[in-house]
A and B are shown apart, each in its own frame.
Chain A
Amino acid sequence: MTIKETQEKLRKKEIGLEEFLSQFFSRIKERNKDLNAILTTFEDAKEEMEKINKTLPLYGAVFVVKDNILVKDKRATAGSKMLEHYIAPYDATVVEKIKEKGGLVIGKGNMDEFAMGSSTENSAFGPTRNPYDLERVPGGSSGGCAVAIADNMCNAALGSDTGGSIRQPAAFCGVVGFKPTYGTVSRSGVISMASSFDQVGPFAKCVDDAHLIFEAIAGKDKKDSVTSDIIKKEKKGSIKIGVPKEYFVAGINDDIKKVIMQAIDKIEKSKIEIVEISLPYTEYALPTYEIIMASEVSANMARFDGIRYGLEFDRPFAKTLKEAYLENRGEGLGREVKRRIILGTYALSSGYFDAYYIKAQKVRSLIAEDFRNAFNKVDVIITPTTPTLPFKIGEKIEDPLSMHLSDIFTATANLAGLPAISLPCGKIGNLPVGAQLMADRFYEDILFEVAKKVEKIWKN
């Protein structure tokens, strides 16, 4: 049932409010001990729901919000020991917006620490498990939100996406996940990871719901200085979808390739034009992302020093402030976060800055130009969302490079600031496969139009 259908039923009182809400709470109670998708549940949400105006556009949307997004007076851990007891003093702009529009937040989703990871194994509060196979990861970093939607613990969710952290877990859990154009959604009240990539976006059961949630959270915000109200709509005639050949070569699982190719065939049979295109700099995208991301991470993580945040640490051995910082950060931050800070500090240090950071920003220009050229020919680009199926828990945790390769098809949209959506397009055995659609910057309208068509084709 879509959010709009749910709304109708609630308004006509075909479902009772009490009954409607308790289905989510009892699902969480029953399933969360196995899945570990939810870090905090808001028991007071039931009273809130009674006060909500029934005519609002998000009435009936029941959210789980990723734990790096602030909800006033609730805990926000970002999956880190550093923030284990941190209580948010205000609502993030996106949370304010969903509340204003009738949405209800009932809990916070587990995640890789500070959104760094592709499996939700890096959470200080234990890994989240994939509902399709409890031995496998749900993807990450927004794994908790993806699982909450897939397992009916809620019917809407908000995650954040820096290199694929919404789309990759959406693909692994068989749900829809959308990363908006960089600059369309405010990040005020969202704990920063890599600020030139970070975007907040929805998880949903279907493209319609994702679109509805996106419209509720989009828009200029004076508290996030890169936001804008730009919307572009002009089309170049009938819809053309491009298939970039570089996304079907090295590293992709053969079965996934087959499923995606079949899905593309179905689109072509429905009389939508499919064109082969080339994005020549694709193989340089992930190394470029690694450098810029780590650099921005190392700067953003400086605020977590155990004084401004994480005040609860006891530092019996620290005599000076410097020792206190070393102790607090040593104790409070996890392995992956430390690695990325060290790599970023290296890339930004004198003597390496030009060779790594500036070089990567230049290659980023070339990658953006690749997409500009492609969008002169096509309206939307289709690719696999992930190169592999959900992997086993523990399989990649000791090998950071192979873990990072999970983002190989998704990080490009962050580098070029594009809107991109992942939606289910088939299964291999019991495990879901996701396809990714990307459009040019600010062309959300066209992306959603095509995604809705494609979703319908694949469902039939």
Chain B
Amino acid sequence: MSNLISKKEIERLAYFARIKLEKEELKNAPKEIESILQYIQKLKDINTEEVEPLFHFPELTNIVREDQVEQTGEEIRKKMMKMGKDKDNYLKVESIL
């Protein structure tokens, strides 16, 4: 059977998903992902032309509420800031462009 996905495609998908793959991972990923892709081809046997997709269950409806502003505790904020690089009470990250 011919391959459904190439190493190059996997590299591209990983880049889109913002995942750096280690050398070892990149070596094994094509084979591992290919085996799952081959397995799911089974669904092609079923004719689903007349079938509606099941995105959610009919009994369940959204719970809607008004937006409420709640004060995040200063303590939590401090804890979060302490975990990152912060400057003047802002989190510092790398440049976007």
Contacts and interface: CB of A to CB of B under 8 A. Distances in A.
Partners in one complex: yes
A359 B48 contact: yes
B17 interface: yes
Contact of B10 (A85, A324, A342): A342
A120 interface: no
A181 B68 CA distance: 30
Given A343-B33, A401-B39, A318 B19 contact: no
Nearest to A290: B40
Contact of A320 (B41, B44, B51, B96): B96
Is chain A's binding surface mostly helix, strand, loop or mixed? helix
Contacts of A368: 54
B94 A319 contact: yes
B18 A322 contact: yes
Contact of A361 (B22, B35, B55, B59): B55
A362 B52 contact: yes
Interface string B63-97: 11100000001001001100110000001011111
Contacts of A322: 18
Nearest to B72: A89
A322 B93 CA distance: 11
Interface in B26-58: 29, 32-33, 35-37, 39-46, 48, 51-57
Interface string B1-27: 000010001100111111111100100
A46 interface: no
A221 B65 CA distance: 11
A183 B57 contact: yes
A366 interface: yes
A144 B69 CA distance: 37
A335 B25 contact: yes
Interface stretch (A9-17, A206-214, A223-231, A448-456): A223-231
A342 B29 contact: yes
B18 A305 contact: yes
A228 B57 CA distance: 12
A349 B44 CA distance: 18
A394 interface: no
B36 A346 contact: no
A64 to B, nearest CB: 25
Interface in A314-353: 315, 318-327, 329-331, 333, 335, 338-339, 341-343, 345-346, 349
Contacts of B95: 319-321
Contact of B19 (A284, A320, A333): A333
A236 interface: no
A359 B36 contact: no
A89 B57 contact: no
Contact of A287 (B5, B25, B43): B43
Contact of B93 (A284, A324, A349): A324
A87 interface: yes
Interface in A434-460: 441-442
A4 B57 CA distance: 35
Contacts of A307: 84, 91, 93
Contact of A341 (B17, B53, B57, B93): B17
Given A226-B60, A339-B33, A85 B83 contact: yes
A87 B60 CA distance: 32
Contacts of A327: 20
B46 A321 contact: no
Contacts of B57: 182-183, 417, 441
A288 interface: yes
A401 B96 contact: no
Nearest to B25: A335
A353 to B, nearest CB: 12
A339 B94 contact: no
Interface of B: 5, 9-10, 13-22, 25, 29, 32-33, 35-37, 39-46, 48, 51-57, 59-65, 73, 76, 79-80, 83-84, 91, 93-97
29 contacts: A182-B57, A196-B56, A222-B65, A225-B64, A287-B39, A287-B42, A288-B43, A290-B36, A290-B40, A321-B96, A323-B94, A325-B18, A326-B15, A327-B20, A330-B20, A330-B22, A333-B19, A335-B25, A338-B25, A339-B33, A341-B17, A359-B43, A359-B48, A361-B53, A362-B48, A363-B43, A365-B54, A399-B35, A417-B57
